[in-house]
Each structure stands twice: as structure tokens, then as C-alpha cells.
Structure 1
Amino acid sequence: MSRFASGVVVLSVGEPNVHAMTANAFGSVSLDPPLVHCCVAHTAVMHEKITRSRSFGVSILGASQETLARYFADKARPLGMAQFDGVAWNPGPLTGAPLLPGALAWMECKLVESYVAGDHSLFVGEVLSSATGDGDEALLFYAGQFQRMEAS
């Protein structure tokens, strides 16, 4: 799977279950209705947070946001609201999930299905709202490293 290039997102959940994590197992499922999926390990803090909240936010990271990707992937960062100390964010208008300024796009989703898939769950969310940012260079994950891709 290291030979499969993927985009990089930060998944987030709002109050009272505030949490965020970097993920690259994310994608589109359906256009009508608009559905996306993310895969989260059963052992990840985010697994319980999405299950409890029944909603999640998505910030699709741009090439300049590698530092944020690394930060939200770091298991040593604080939990709860403390993980957002010093990090710019805006609450999603529908879910309150923290959304990161400077991202290429944002979504707020309502959890509609959850499937056990080995040591992960595949969460399917209905997109409740979405917006695009100004950037056009994507942050990718390929061969175990962050990469940058310019739009042509």
C-alpha cells in the first residue's frame, strides 16, 4: 500500500468529544447523496469519538500544512481541547468540529454507517456542508513520506 498515493486529511470531532487526527484512508463514496468514508483503527482515540458524536469534520490539507499533518499524527500531543492550543481552527457551523484554516477544502459529515473491517472501522458520513479554500497544491502521502503535488 505504500505505492498508493493518497491525500491527507485531518478528521475532527466537536464538543463534548473534541479530538482530531491525521488520516489518509479517506475518500468519496457517492455523489447522490454526497457520502465520504474514513477508516479508523479500533484502538485510536478517534474511533470512540466518532462513534459517540455520530458526526465528524474533515480538513483536506494543502502542501503547506505538513506541520499540521505531523502534529495531529503525533500520539504524544495533548488530548481534548488542549491539542488545539496554538493551532488556528474554526468550529464547523453544523457540527462544531474543528476545521483548519488554509485547507484545500472542508466538510462536515453526519455518520450514517459503520462497518467493522479487520482492526479498523470504515465510517461512512453524509456530507452536510462543504467549502473549498484558495490553495491548489495538495499534500500527499506516498512511500511512507509526505509529498507535494501542484495542480496542472
Structure 2
Amino acid sequence: MTTTGEGAGVDVDTYRHAMGRLARGVTVLTTTASGQDHALTANSVTSVSLDPVLLLVCIETDARFHDAVLESQVFGVSLLAAGQRGLAAWFATPGRPLPGQLDRAPHTRGAAGVPLLDGALASLECRVRDVHPAGDHSIIVATVASARLAGDPQAALVHFRGQYSALP
């Protein structure tokens, strides 16, 4: 498949495989909107600035999480440990039931009320600052309101060439 318009001539499958060769940390994003918890596995999370402390996430506009985070204006980021591979797979499962999706994921609530996964290497609480449309995704720039580190960090869960792996 080749794109049309901007980037025309780029084979989408080749691009997808090329980007798959970029090892990335795995996170679960969480929010609560209209009394319902939402979660999503994401690896498009990037530090933007230290002054002010900002990060960005890229969310597909068709994802349930997209509308939920725009409604709530807050979200959590749990940076997953290698032992949390099952949670990464669960929160990446398309069409999983929304009610009770966090039942299998031990978690606590942060100051903003968002779920943060227990056992994560680190957890961040964020407030939406800007939203930028970008193709079939939105780039959400957020102010980091809090950051917590695990006391005894384990190996990190990374995604590389379509597979989850551990990085010591």
C-alpha cells in the first residue's frame, strides 16, 4: 500500500516495518471519563521539555481512549516492567470490554483520580495542555503534574520488531 498526498510514494508496510526497528519502551495510558476507566497500551510517549515539564503521547483518533482523555483532560502513564508483558498485551487488545478492563491490573489512583499500574517502573500523572491533529492520530502535549519511581526497578518492557522483550 502506498500513501497519497503528503508522503506519496512511501510504502506504508515498509514504513511500518522500518519504525518497528526502533526499540521503544512500553507504557499503559489511563484515564477516567464519565465514571468509566479507560486504558491503552502505547509506545508513542516522548519527553518534550524539562522547563516546563512536558511530554507528548500520540493517540489514534478512532480509539476509545482518545475521546475519554479529551473529556477528562488528565491521564496517567505507567512505564511497564518486563514482567508486565501480559498487561501490555491485554490493553493492546482491540475490542476488549470497557467495563472491568482494569480488574486484572493491580493499580492505585493518583491525585487526579487516574489509575496507575502497580509494579510499573515509574508512573506519571499528566494534564492535557495542547492537542494537535496529525493524520489518523492526535498529538497530545501534556504537563506532567507528578512523577513516581519504583523503589527497586526491574528490567524494562520494550517493543522491537513487533515483539515484546526485556531490557535490563
Residues 1:26 and 2:45 are matched in the alignment: yes
Tell me which structure has the larger Cα radius of gyration: 2
- The aligned counterpart of 1:12 is 30
Amino acid at match of 1:76: G
Q: What does residue 62 of structure 1 align with?
A: 81
Name the CA distance, whole Å, in 1 between partners of 2:159 and 2:60. Answer: 18
Deviations 1:22-76 (A, max 9, x none): 0000010001111011000010001001111111100000111101100111123
Distance in 2 between residues matched to 1:117 and 1:78, nearest whole Å: 27
Query: Structure 2 regions of 5+ residues with no counterpart?
Result: 1-18
Q: Counterpart of 1:70 in 2: which secondary structure?
A: helix
Give the corresponding residue for 1:89: 107
The amino acid across from 1:92 in the alignment is G
Counterpart position of 2:123: 106
Q: Which has the higher contact order (CA 8 A, sep 6+)?
A: 1
Whole-Å separation in 2 of the counterparts to 1:136 and 1:27:
21
Q: Which runs of 4+ in 1 moved over 6 A?
A: none
Match of 1:115 in 2: 132
1:38 maps to 57
Unaligned residue ranges in structure 1 (runs of 5+): none
Q: Under a length normalisation based on structure 1, what TM-score does the superposition of the two structures give?
A: 0.93
What is the aligned residue count? 148
